[in-house]
Structure 1
Amino acid sequence: MSRVAFLLLVPLGAVLMMTPADVPAAQPAAEDVRFKNLFQTYLDDEFRRHPAFATQQGSHEFDDQLDDLSPEARAKDIARIKVLLESLATDIDFKKLSRGAQIDYEIWTHSLRYALWSSENDNRFEYDPRTYGEFISDSVFILLTQSTLPRERKVENAAKRIAHIPKVVAAAKASLKNPPKILTEVTIKRNLGAISFYEKDIYEFAKETPGTEPLATPCKAAVKALKGYQEWLEKELLPKSTGEWRLGKEKFAKKLELELDAGLTADEVVKIAEAEADRVEQEMYYVAKQLWSKLFAGKPLPPDDKAGRRATIKAALDELGKDHGKPDTLVEDAKKTVAAIKDFIRAKKILTLPEPDNCQIIAMPEFQRGFSAAYLNPAPPLDPKANSLYAVAPPPKDWPPARQETFFREYNSAMLQILTVHEAYPGHYVQLAYSNRHPSLVRKVLWSGSFAEGWAVYTEQMMLDQGYGDGDLSLRLHQLKFYIRAVLNAILDHKMHCANLTDEEALELLVGRGFQTEAEAVGKIARAKQSSTQLSTYFVGRTAFYRLRQNVQRKRGDTFDLGKFHEDVLSHGTLPVKYLPELVK
């Protein structure tokens, strides 16, 4: 998924909801209350120390402030986490907790251990300059776009928060060592977007007249600081950006275990993915073969061997890809996909859609581009009536026309429908709206990427299986293409960080085996260098949902109700997928 989040020092690990049998009675167990109060105290302290995190979670008490990101402040954060982990083992009697609270306890302690491991082995404040951009621009953007506070108050808070940007720049200069070159290059482009945001775009989002107070003065100071930062990035940091972006086999294996929390090793994930890629490619061939005579009347089907089957799939996708929009219509094209998808979900009783619908489709701001073509930033869990943002990114303006054309062949009319299913209905937007309803504070602020991405990928096939598109083979072929992308993501993730896969080899994997356009493949390779383990969450999560669905449907037999199953699954929050078999009977 492509959610913009302030991961800070505590990785967003997982969320869980209680089963109906575990829902606390009028007077919950004393140990459950102790645990709940302890987490509340912890979270209050986190919000006070990390205002950007508080805003992202929907707590607006500190919207006028910004984090202290100095090395000294971050060292104190780590020390507090170590003390907290030790005290939790003695302050809470695990055996006296209800099962629901026990899983909450496991989620919280897991996220704390992940934070400690990351600080020692994968410290993004030292190697990833993009991190500081989350505080420089994202923290103000979400304050203005994803809050239910009165507009005037949001503007006042934004003005005060912007005044702290020079301190963030100073912290970046003091902390960054020798980051990988690609991360510095992306930061340089994003920082230009941040400068543009504070020069003009912010007034549009704030609904203020350009150049007026209270934004004008702090924005001018921010622009000055960011222009100086731009010069530092280009002239000082870039020349010494010689760091290694590959995590290495040992660290990757441990980080993947912590990220997935699914009981799978790195070697197991890539082995399962390799087998699944072969299966999906065969299915794509069957669909492409059925399309052949309609797309290429009179032209003989290529030979039925490995090369011929891939040629058949590629030719069909190339021809279907010609039906696409333009850079200036991308957002409107995405909006046009929504009505039919929502109507289908209601008619087929896939699940109950959130009402009112607070999902807005926007063009991705320039300071967030360079990682993915789309994302869903959900309403904050503590401010659930705020807007959710489904953002799509047009290709960069400096791309030549031929490369822009390949982008739109990738995100053509059929693929845009699959993308909207994944990001919004019934994918990320719907799932995270369900997740925000649960009263458990642990489950509201900690979440599992494998659950979120797995659900979104699961819905792509499920919607077509239930009849969306009335059997349109173009939609089916693109759904399979989108799915094999998720499968190959896991393979790419592993081999880029563990097996020294070259860019040329990665390009062959994505273009030759995944049938991606060159522009999409180049972007995905860049993304693999900018992150580690996240690309594996799509496939692992989808596999868990698919297996759960099959097992539950077999056991329920004729009584199986798809809509009720979906709502049951989503009622448990965005939890580690390993808990699903226990919770969904």
Structure 2
Amino acid sequence: MRFAAPAALVLLGIAVMATPAAQPPAAVSAEDARLANFFQSYLDQQFRLHPVYATQQGNHDHDDRMDDLSPAARAKDVELTRKTLADVKKEIDPKKLSRDGRIDFEVFTHSLDYSLWSVANDNRFEFDPRVYGEFLTDSVFLLFTQSTLPRERNVQNAAKRVAAVPQVVAAAKAGLKNPPKILTEVTIRRNKGAIAFYEKDIWEFAGETPGSEPLATPCRAAVAALKDYQTWLETDLLPRSTGEWRLGEAKFAKKLELELDAGLTAAEVLKLAEGEADRVEREMYYVAKQLWSKLFPGRVLPPDDADGRRATTAAVLAELGKDHGKPENLLADVRKTVDGIRTFIREKKILTLPDPDTCKIVEMPEFQRGFSAAYLNPAPPLDPKADSLYAVAPPPRDWSAERVATFFREYNTPMLQVLTIHEAYPGHYVQLAYSNRCPSLVRKVLSSGVFAEGWAVYTEQMMLDQGYGAGDLSLRLHQLKFYLRAVLNAILDHRMHCAGMTDEQALALLMGRGFQTEAEAVAKVARAKQSSTQLSTYFVGRTAFYRLRQDVQRRRGDGFVLGTFHEQVLSHGTLPVKYLPELVR
């Protein structure tokens, strides 16, 4: 499941998330201080130019303003990024930096390079109408859910930001060219949620009386603008949404290199994932075979060949999938998983949990749905006492009863536990709470999705290996299925964007090899069309963490302490995984 949603918006179209945790600082050179000052000045400028980005990062000096998203303003952003990259290379001498300083320098310059590449090759403001929705709704939603300012101040700021909704709609109309059809379709559904948000939901989030000022007047104007936008999306943009969602082999290879920053090529990732998928399938069969006689007493185990092994695993998963809740209880069921998981972490000394705990489990707003079933939006790095949101999306209201049933067969009782481990404890929420302690501003603001997703996937197996679930084979089988999903993500990502994989072939991969229900597989195929390279981060990151753990454990021998290892890993921030071996050994 994806890490961060609204907090991963950004100026030039790449994701910027939250980073690092605390460790005794190394000696700081004068050049380190120069780099820190340079980055602070850069960030201050970005916050002035991009108020929504400032809010996402936890700076509330500009919460009453909206970004200028016009094509002219965005062109100036590109020139500023190009100038910043040239200036930092001219003004900072990497040879004079400490090792930590050099890492910060490399992270910063890599982020600028990636931004420039994205604008030239993968510009969301031209081909992805969803990006404007982040300013139309998420920019206001964040003020009510992830700001520690007084409520009254947030309401005043929100009213001014809502007043800017018509200008964002105008920027969308001016900026969008010929997006892929699927992105326009998702935007049409989300925009309906945006209209509902300003018509009624905003009052509950704001803690205000419905229809009261200062929100009433700008909300009426916003609703009018969004309804006009809805008509434009459906009658103007949708008919000309003929853009290609496939990135293509050359662009995919370069973007993956930039996204991973791990020294791996696209071909190498694909080869590793294909081998790992075979291994995980075999492990799933060994577990399923042990459950067979309990679930199907008297029934003969299928033959021990490729088809028989797959049939065994599929039948066992289908039977176990009947243990699930109801749509109206989804949030309550997720909350039930939390206490037992946190207790286990404390008792087994997996690591020290954040205190106070500021993770809230919420229903995903309708205007954010259509990408994944859950996300963790962490407390902003510059407002770390704010809430983190573990958001879960119930099945859409227009789904048939059968499709809803397949959703819950996928997100059944054991799978919800694995989901909570990944998204919250000790996955994204815990890791990013550690991350927000880092003294480096560079690492607080610029972070690696490979690290974040890799850690979350690593913790799923690690928790069960340490005894969570007391040997429950159903839980183990679902953990393996969840991990196989991460492996297949990388294969799907590559083949759909580089090899012309059809929807039918993708569904066969996910439902056949991945044992996913049809509803989950259809949603994942749609997600692969809505993004590129992000689906590869789970597998690559998990592989890095797993190999690091094995290496460090072998080196330390009897002196290896799991909790200590975990806290050392998290102490350096959410930085590219290529740095971990030198930092943790």
What displacement does 1:15 show? 7.6
The amino acid that maps onto 2:347 is A
What displacement does 1:410 show? 0.2
Q: Tell me the SS of whatever aligns to 1:524.
A: helix
Structure 2 matches for 1:298-377, cutoff 5 A? 298-377=298-377
List runs of 5+ in structure 2 lacking aligned partners.
Answer: none
Match of 1:116 in 2: 116
CA distance in 1, matches of 2:514, 2:168: 40
Q: Tell me the SS of whatever aligns to 1:372.
A: coil
Conservation of the 8 A alpha-carbon contact between 1:325 and 1:333 = yes
Structure 2 matches for 1:148-163, cutoff 5 A? 148-163=148-163
Conservation of the 8 A alpha-carbon contact between 1:14 and 1:576 = no
What displacement does 1:14 show? 8.1
In structure 2, do the counterparts of structure 1 residues 563 and 322 end up closer, same or farther at CA, with 3 Å as the change threshold? same
Structure 2 matches for 1:438-477, cutoff 5 A? 438-477=438-477
Match of 1:582 in 2: 582
Matched, 1:6 2:9: yes
Structure 2 matches for 1:7-156, cutoff 5 A? 7-9=10-12, 11-12=14-15, 23-25=25-27, 28-156=28-156
Match of 1:416 in 2: 416
Match of 1:503 in 2: 503
* CA displacement, residues 343-394 of structure 1 (integer Å, 9 cap, x when unaligned): 0000000000000010000010000000000000000000000000000001
Conservation of the 8 A alpha-carbon contact between 2:359 and 2:388 = yes
Match of 1:529 in 2: 529
Conservation of the 8 A alpha-carbon contact between 1:14 and 1:575 = no
Q: Tell me the SS of whatever aligns to 1:316.
A: helix
* CA displacement, residues 226-245 of structure 1 (integer Å, 9 cap, x when unaligned): 00000000000000000000
Q: Percent identity?
A: 74
The amino acid that maps onto 2:9 is F
In structure 2, do the counterparts of structure 1 residues 384 and 569 end up closer, same or farther at CA, with 3 Å as the change threshold? same
The amino acid that maps onto 1:353 is L
In structure 2, do the counterparts of structure 1 residues 219 and 236 end up closer, same or farther at CA, with 3 Å as the change threshold? same
Conservation of the 8 A alpha-carbon contact between 1:12 and 1:445 = no
Conservation of the 8 A alpha-carbon contact between 1:70 and 1:171 = yes
Conservation of the 8 A alpha-carbon contact between 1:15 and 1:442 = no
Q: Tell me the SS of whatever aligns to 1:337.
A: helix
The amino acid that maps onto 1:570 is L
Match of 1:214 in 2: 214
In structure 2, do the counterparts of structure 1 residues 369 and 18 end up closer, same or farther at CA, with 3 Å as the change threshold? closer
* CA displacement, residues 379-435 of structure 1 (integer Å, 9 cap, x when unaligned): 000000000000000111111000000000000000000000000000000000000
Q: Tell me the SS of whatever aligns to 2:3.
A: coil
What displacement does 1:2 show? 3.1
List runs of 5+ in structure 1 lacking aligned partners.
Answer: none
Q: Tell me the SS of whatever aligns to 1:371.
A: coil
Q: TM-score scaled by structure 1?
A: 0.98
Conservation of the 8 A alpha-carbon contact between 1:14 and 1:107 = no
CA distance in 1, matches of 2:35, 2:123: 29
The amino acid that maps onto 1:76 is K
Match of 1:290 in 2: 290
Match of 2:388 in 1: 388
Conservation of the 8 A alpha-carbon contact between 1:323 and 1:413 = yes
CA distance in 1, matches of 2:17, 2:392: 26
* CA displacement, residues 121-179 of structure 1 (integer Å, 9 cap, x when unaligned): 00000000000000000111111100110010011100011001111000000010000
CA distance in 1, matches of 2:371, 2:328: 20
Conservation of the 8 A alpha-carbon contact between 1:190 and 1:368 = yes
CA distance in 1, matches of 2:415, 2:90: 52
CA distance in 2, matches of 1:143, 1:119: 28
Conservation of the 8 A alpha-carbon contact between 1:14 and 1:443 = no
Match of 1:405 in 2: 405
Matched, 1:478 2:478: yes
CA distance in 2, matches of 1:224, 1:19: 48
CA distance in 2, matches of 1:163, 1:172: 16
Conservation of the 8 A alpha-carbon contact between 2:20 and 2:570 = no
CA distance in 1, matches of 2:37, 2:14: 21
Conservation of the 8 A alpha-carbon contact between 2:495 and 2:501 = yes
Conservation of the 8 A alpha-carbon contact between 1:58 and 1:383 = yes
Conservation of the 8 A alpha-carbon contact between 1:16 and 1:103 = no
The amino acid that maps onto 2:180 is P
Structure 2 matches for 1:256-295, cutoff 5 A? 256-295=256-295
* CA displacement, residues 237-287 of structure 1 (integer Å, 9 cap, x when unaligned): 000000000000000000000000000000000000000000000000000
What displacement does 1:11 show? 2.8
CA distance in 1, matches of 2:171, 2:555: 56
In structure 2, do the counterparts of structure 1 residues 135 and 514 end up closer, same or farther at CA, with 3 Å as the change threshold? same
The amino acid that maps onto 1:455 is W
Taking only aligned residues, the RMSD between alpha carbons, in angstroms, comes to 1.1
CA distance in 2, matches of 1:66, 1:328: 36
CA distance in 1, matches of 2:76, 2:501: 38
Conservation of the 8 A alpha-carbon contact between 1:16 and 1:576 = no
CA distance in 1, matches of 2:459, 2:29: 38
Conservation of the 8 A alpha-carbon contact between 1:291 and 1:316 = yes
Q: Tell me the SS of whatever aligns to 1:304.
A: coil
CA distance in 2, matches of 1:305, 1:66: 60
In structure 2, do the counterparts of structure 1 residues 340 and 195 end up closer, same or farther at CA, with 3 Å as the change threshold? same
Match of 1:562 in 2: 562
* CA displacement, residues 422-477 of structure 1 (integer Å, 9 cap, x when unaligned): 00000000000000011111011101000000000000000000000000000000
Which moves more between the two structures, 30-39 or 408-417?
30-39
CA distance in 2, matches of 1:20, 1:184: 45
Q: TM-score scaled by structure 2?
A: 0.98
Conservation of the 8 A alpha-carbon contact between 1:379 and 1:387 = yes
Q: Tell me the SS of whatever aligns to 2:45.
A: helix
CA distance in 1, matches of 2:208, 2:16: 37
CA distance in 2, matches of 1:544, 1:383: 30
CA distance in 2, matches of 1:280, 1:323: 23
What displacement does 1:7 show? 2.3
The amino acid that maps onto 1:423 is E
What displacement does 1:87 show? 1.3
In structure 2, do the counterparts of structure 1 residues 452 and 145 end up closer, same or farther at CA, with 3 Å as the change threshold? same
Structure 2 matches for 1:187-198, cutoff 5 A? 187-198=187-198
What displacement does 1:12 show? 3.9
Q: Tell me the SS of whatever aligns to 1:362.
A: strand
Which moves more between the two structures, 2-11 or 495-504?
2-11
CA distance in 2, matches of 1:29, 1:303: 66
The amino acid that maps onto 1:274 is E
Q: Tell me the SS of whatever aligns to 2:426.
A: coil
* CA displacement, residues 55-86 of structure 1 (integer Å, 9 cap, x when unaligned): 00000000000100000000000001111111
What displacement does 1:17 show? 5.4
